[in-house]
Structure 1
Amino acid sequence: MRILSVSNRGALKKLMQDINVDPYGVKIMLPKAQSYLLKINSLSNISANILKQEMLSLGGDAALSADALTGRVKKTGCLVMGNLSQFTRLRYKLNKQPFGLSKLAQDLNLTLKNYQKASFQLKAGRYRLNLGNRSYIMGIVNVTPDSFSGDGLYKLTNLRTCELTNYIVDYAEGMVRDGADIIDVGGESSRPGAKPVSLKDEISRVIPVIKSLAKKINIPISVDTCKPEVARASLDNGASLVNDISGLRDIKMAKIVSRYKAGVVIMHMLGCPRSMQKTPKYNSLVDDIIAYLESAVRKAEELGVSRESIIIDPGIGFGKTLEHNLEILKRLEEFKSLGKPILIGASRKSFIGKILHAEPDNRLFGTVASCVTACANGANIVRVHDVKAVKEALKVADSIKR
């Protein structure tokens, strides 16, 4: 006798088939074997108590604040416990209830549907990426003189402009040969304390590279920028995806992404690069980041960005302490509730350096460990400097997981 550690629907189905369960029985019992703990941040006492009673009637439960039961507070957080079968029946019960519980039933249904989504077709310009069968890799090409990781290719000032562009393009082509699925070109450092780069300088750095690279590779090119003008120029010259660390705070960026039918990475950042690491604080880390991303995604879709073109990024290292970064990676599966592909950029980040007491160029093993953990916990894409090493590690990890 043993307790099984299985939550994947496919693995559960295979276990039942292995002991020759009737196909109809498999269909009925699969939802009973999938258990979830669902958090509702704020619910009125009346709604919460009805929810608890309905879940108890189905064999599940809901944990509420003790003060909600005595009426000392008007609202409470709620942890709802049950299997998929119970949640499905709960939905029908709540649909008949007043006090906003029918809306809660719709939200519950959407959250579970999002969380269970195992694959995505990402639309990015002329490209379609089928995310879900394996982990995808975004190779980092920093066309800057001051990247935190030490790989800023623009520091090679002894080269003439055309030679520098050719060198950078060759570097990116090497990443493609090593297995990169996307190339991300950036012309402005986002390291903590970084000073802004002028529009003219950023365009002069990234456009020659993107224009030349687009003629040589057949995978999506992403531009890492928060300036709408840079995004537009990049999309005009061969890019098909925008990696916006500011999370589409500028509505002009969303409109450009929509107009070009480009893909977009919406990232969470607390503050701006110059100030983001000055004592970052959250009320509730994951709750706050998910709320921010949910709002940004909704705004993007309202402005015309295709829902199939959006990737979310919780922003490792952008206004986060060491403990924050570790908690995000540990709880990454919770971000699946938003129903979007997840990108993680942990490569050579300072939290790895703090753990290993290592400089950026000695953080490869820590980067690999972070990427494998991220993909095991729900990430679809990892953004990295060292493509070959991460590619090989994830190929093995994907084989084990899938």
Structure 2
Amino acid sequence: MPDPYLPPIRQPVRTIGRQRFDFSRQIVVMGIVNRTPDSFYDQGRTYALDRAVDAALAAAAAGAGWVDVGGVPFSPDTPEVGESEELDRVLPVVTAVAAASDIVISVDTFRPAVAAAAIAAGAAVVNDTTGLHHPELADVVAGSQATVVVTHSRAEPRRPFPRPTYADVVSEVKSFLADRVQLALDHGVPEERIVIDPGHDLNKNTLHTLELTRRLSEIADLGLPLLAAVSNKDFVGESTGLAKADRGAPSIAAATACALAGSRLWRMHDVGSAVAAARLVEAVLGLQVPTDLRHNMS
């Protein structure tokens, strides 16, 4: 049986924050900390500051390489959060986690001022789920040592986008990401500090997201590390009939499918299970040697 096709990453070895990654050899799990009372999955479980910090440090202890801290939900169905309130939610978490751990801290924001303040506080990644809707955010990243995650989404930040349509969702997502990566480059962000995310479920229905997952290698062909943010999302629930609380196993299956097509970053709620799954997938793909070879070896 031939080896699976793994799209090459042009610059796989990256120093991000205080960590060094080789995306040609490893799958990195990003834990999720929502400092919001109305996130789609945890519904405020980590809204309190101490719980947010504890969750980030627990993700690090469970093997996450990154932790993504967000103060504003993507969904437009939640109350508006102003810039000042977003800063109040995010910055104390970044400061506390940066003081206690070497884990890479990513901040989920589309606002340039929030990104700048978070980087100054210790964040090493800006995770922009609006695809650089505000080009000034690229300027902020270019003027720092931070990495930016460029995500496909079509709506203005926190605005409805009902009944999205695509002639070919994969080619359109790929074209969008290529354009936005070029925008980042034009603003001075070096390629080795850019990650891409096809935006599972973001301004897409379940059929779009499943098609995107099946053909994800076409997106990975852009040659940049690719983040798969699939954990507990609606396409997982609509494909399985499972409630949010029961989507852990199919979320790992979705992440595994993405890894087989070239994704090297997983954004996951259940870090421990995801890290264990990532280690097995690395072994299957031949990226890493198994840690303990004893079975039928003597």
TM-score (norm 1): 0.68
Q: Deviations over 1:72-129 (max 9, x none)?
A: xxxxxxxxxxxxxxxxxxxxxxxxxxxxxxxxxxxxxxxxxxx433760234345432
Specify which structure has the bigger relative contact order, considering alpha-carbon pairs within 8 angstroms and separated by 6 or more residues.
2
Secondary structure of 2:14's match? Answer: strand
Q: Which letter does structure 1 place at the counterpart of 2:35?
A: V
Q: Deviations over 1:152-194 (max 9, x none)?
A: 3355xxxxxxxx3222211211111111000110000113533
Q: Decide whether the 8 Å contact of 2:36 with 2:72 is kept in 1.
A: yes
Out of 113, 122, 134, the position equivalent to 2:14 is 122
1:211 matches 2:95: yes
**Cα distance change on mapping 1:305 and 1:337 into 2, 3 Å:** same
Shift of 1:8: 5.2
Match of 1:337 in 2: 221
Match of 1:56 in 2: none
Shift of 1:200: 0.9
1:178 matches 2:62: yes
Shift of 1:226: 0.3
Alignment map for 1:228-307 (pairs within 5 Å): 228-272=112-156, 273-276=158-161, 278-307=162-191
1:400 matches 2:284: yes
**Structure-2 separation of matches of 1:188 and 1:379:** 25
**Cα distance change on mapping 1:244 and 1:381 into 2, 3 Å:** same
TM-score (norm 2): 0.91
Match of 1:224 in 2: 108
Q: Which letter does structure 2 place at the counterpart of 1:274?
A: R
Q: Which letter does structure 1 place at the counterpart of 2:190?
A: S
Secondary structure of 1:243's match? Answer: strand
Match of 1:145 in 2: 37
Gaps of 5+ in 1: 10-114, 156-163
Out of 81, 96, 118, the position equivalent to 1:197 is 81
Q: Deviations over 1:212-265 (max 9, x none)?
A: 110011121000000111101100101011000111121210000010121010
**Structure-1 separation of matches of 2:71 and 2:19:** 23
Match of 1:43 in 2: none
Match of 1:369 in 2: 253
Secondary structure of 2:41's match? Answer: coil
Q: Which letter does structure 1 place at the counterpart of 2:2?
A: S
**Structure-2 separation of matches of 1:130 and 1:219:** 16
Shift of 1:282: 1.1
**Structure-2 separation of matches of 1:261 and 1:127:** 13
Q: Which letter does structure 2 place at the counterpart of 1:131?
A: F
**Structure-1 separation of matches of 2:11 and 2:258:** 16
Q: Deviations over 1:20-78 (max 9, x none)?
A: xxxxxxxxxxxxxxxxxxxxxxxxxxxxxxxxxxxxxxxxxxxxxxxxxxxxxxxxxxx
Match of 1:37 in 2: none
**Cα distance change on mapping 1:6 and 1:173 into 2, 3 Å:** closer
**Cα distance change on mapping 1:399 and 1:192 into 2, 3 Å:** farther
The alignment's C-alpha RMSD in Å is 1.7
- How many residue pairs align between the two structures? 285
Q: Decide whether the 8 Å contact of 2:220 with 2:261 is kept in 1.
A: no
